[in-house]
Structure 1
């Protein structure tokens, strides 16, 4: 070891369900993106310590259609592998998960390079989600959990199916919400890694092995490979959904999801990606202590790391930004070094064509700031800055025809606070307002600056002033977004909080807002 340390989470904020892959000297991490474009966010590293975002793979509707998907629907648990000179990406698109059903379709695309070009999607057979591929001797097999929608059923185990034809086999019955399968082979054993316990505080990783790919599989007698369920004092909770990778020199690591809860147990930052070192003991891959560590020894021998500095100029839609339910395209979004121009879209509750450009909240203390140029023409047109979780849970400071309005949606119940009168039009691009949203632990604050006394009252001027009350950040958490009715899931909370810019044009009359001098800070 050279003393370098991996510090977790390696991908902070919304980066769940990691799939890790090494090709030569390069490591790639793919994570779930749910209702956000581009689908399947990928990061690259040479040393497992430093990671740079490459952006999303599924950039357009040819590869991914998210129109109308529910909150925390869309892309679930991608799997990235490399075989026969091609990158293989398997991903599921969840169209509905409520009231006892799971309407998901699994797809496969391939590319000669991680940058593409990616092939047209091929629909895969399968009876559930969390699909992955295993390659051996020129053949490929598809693994996935099986979902049984009959009342009182649900999770039904892990299925294995040859991609070149043949019947599926149930190689592992359901044990405890068994999902997220990955298959490996070492020293004549097949190792089946699964996630169990659900994606919350009981989450964990279990490893089983067999001499035959079809099983039967026996569990590691030492118990779960990784879990936080027995120790609420650990900094990383919800540890689970893992994927193994071997370094060029033979060291092993597991990428897994984890969360850093606030006091009280809410996870505003969502589910993040962490790495743990794996050692082989008595023929089993194990994490020291079976619990996630914040600091982990880095590989002892690595290739030279590339320049991982994000050189994107402020205002350019770089790889850390996402758009909601529709891809970034010139018909509604223009990104240039000077800033963003966003054409208005649906209401905050619309599931087809909202106009929201946002990025994940990556630290408990952070802020997003910009200068907005916008003048609403009527009551149907609004624009501003938001702290956002999903269509039912958000805070939004917007310039409207009635002036500045601060709105909170808490599980769909709206509370509006009018903060000032209407602003007059100022030039071709409209009124200029500086806006800022700030996360400070469990609190969200909004700030603004404008020289118009009607808009900001006694606080008008060029200096940012705090507008409205302190707001509850914990309604923008995975736990708060989870909703159940009569024991059935109504909504999941899988994504973590975002900050971003939002524009509405409810009558489709062509309004747009311009955002400049964009700055995100932690």
Structure 2
């Protein structure tokens, strides 16, 4: 059986693509660099992250972008030996105006370098390529309409010239969607005599759903599926998999069909989802030339039968990363900016990750922070750090991070003449400092630990690496969720990512002091 979700933790907006016997899923990364995660599988059950294609500023400049902006809803496709990756780099969100430039990059080798970006349009987002049987390539996107607060303006279609590398010809308006509204995430497919337009609707929260329309002509008119939505959990509030939608289809080499889509797993009934939006999979069957879930309902299952494909299992990511390579592991990402010797080094001190203190955790520009996704409800994260702060403006340690206004931070800093361990949290952009501190003035190597148990977080420390003691009160993990950020903030904020756990260093005085991390350990407690 395949257990859902297949991509755990912050991995939303899956775009699936098959090339021969290989399957690839591209997922959104928002403000995390490098952009787009590409996952690989041979059997649709076992997956491994293999690439981050947007790894240069010339492809993805995100310095200063707001929280949960940056890379939205990539689309991965393949034609005549070339991979195409369409993506949006969202620059602004507040107010009626949305700045959403869309680009496409290409490669012959999915593990190799990708091209410089070709600009497409800024008319909307969630761009997607469809390669028709006649050789034409079409670009589909959601239209942003700023007039009278509409925002969701429907779906547009235009041809893309793969030789001239530009959009050409007439722009066709396909549909405003169904009565669920909030129409976005379009993908086009062709089967037999019909073009199928699948849409994410109902909003990306607990009303999320996937709908289908079809037409005999690519430019329409499109008729709605008789039993829309074909995929949703909107009517099953107590179900474990919620927010189901934003889907893409794939046909196997055995002519079977599957759909990948995002889901979330709340801690309580339609509560908070600390793991963010994840990726799940379901079987598709066809009746009267319409797609349906093979489950007999539109509710995604927690497990489905494995397809008739040879199973290929990948090795697990090691619990402990010892920083013995000159490259960060692929499961680590940075905030908005690429790795640079200006702020990070794996070679200046052999066997250590060195972070050179930069701006605060509130900054949307230059932070010295590396992190990986939280993928389990119960986990233990530990690190060893060597840091000699000179003043209170020097901080380094272990961070659990959602965005610039929501995080928990166990760190070493300076208080008077003492080196101390302290805890600071940020909730709704308000800083909360815990009273308890631990003096470690004469300790060169300090061990920091975060123990997560669903909605509870307990920080611990050790002076010898063996005996860990609690520090501070238990903290609320659930503030590190899209639901909390969206529902509890004074105004609506984009909240589309998930909790990441990692290491950081701040020098708020001179941007010069550094911290050395010997290792980082992520242990699953489930």
Q: TM-score when scaled to structure 1?
A: 0.93
Equivalents in 1 of 2:33, 2:329: separation in Å?
A: 12
Equivalents in 1 of 2:286, 2:217: separation in Å?
A: 20
Equivalents in 1 of 2:74, 2:511: separation in Å?
A: 38
Q: Tell me, what secondary structure is at the counterpart of 1:80? A: strand
Equivalents in 1 of 2:399, 2:103: separation in Å?
A: 33
Contact 1:484 1:491 (8 Å CA) reproduced: no
Contact 2:320 2:521 (8 Å CA) reproduced: no
* Aligned match of 1:342: 355
Please say if 1:319 is aligned against 2:321: no
Contact 1:435 1:447 (8 Å CA) reproduced: yes
* Aligned match of 2:289: 283
* Residue deviations 1:304-352 (CA, integer Å, cap 9, x gap): 6264444697134211111111112332222368341111110111110
* Aligned match of 1:167: 170
Q: Given the alignment, which residue of 365, 375, 379 partners 1:366?
A: 379
Please say if 1:476 is aligned against 2:458: no
* Aligned match of 2:243: 238
**Cα separation, partners in 2 of 1:410 and 1:258, compared to 1, 3 Å:** same
* Aligned match of 1:391: 404
Q: Tell me, what secondary structure is at the counterpart of 2:479? A: helix
Contact 1:20 1:28 (8 Å CA) reproduced: yes
Equivalents in 2 of 1:470, 1:509: separation in Å?
A: 32
Contact 1:375 1:425 (8 Å CA) reproduced: no
* Aligned match of 1:260: 265
RMSD across aligned C-alpha pairs, in angstroms?
Answer: 1.8
* Aligned match of 1:117: 113
Contact 1:195 1:241 (8 Å CA) reproduced: yes
Contact 1:126 1:144 (8 Å CA) reproduced: no
Q: Given the alignment, which residue of 181, 185, 189 partners 2:190?
A: 185
Structure 1 gap segments, 5+ residues each:
452-460
Q: How does 1:139-218 map to 2 (within 5 A)?
A: 139-164=136-161, 165-175=168-178, 176-218=181-223
Contact 1:375 1:423 (8 Å CA) reproduced: no
Q: Given the alignment, which residue of 380, 398, 411 partners 2:393?
A: 380
Equivalents in 1 of 2:103, 2:221: separation in Å?
A: 28
Equivalents in 2 of 1:520, 1:464: separation in Å?
A: 16
Q: How does 1:294-305 map to 2 (within 5 A)?
A: 294-302=302-310, 305=312
Q: Tell me, what secondary structure is at the counterpart of 1:275? A: strand
Q: TM-score when scaled to structure 2?
A: 0.92
Q: Given the alignment, which residue of 1, 6, 13 partners 2:2?
A: 6
Equivalents in 1 of 2:398, 2:343: separation in Å?
A: 17
Equivalents in 2 of 1:437, 1:409: separation in Å?
A: 16
* Aligned match of 2:165: none
Q: Tell me, what secondary structure is at the counterpart of 1:468? A: coil
Equivalents in 1 of 2:208, 2:313: separation in Å?
A: 34
User: How many residues in Structure 1 have an aligned counterpart in Structure 2?
Assistant: 502
**Cα separation, partners in 2 of 1:474 and 1:157, compared to 1, 3 Å:** same
* Aligned match of 1:61: 57
Contact 2:437 2:471 (8 Å CA) reproduced: no
Shift in Å, 1:234? 1.6
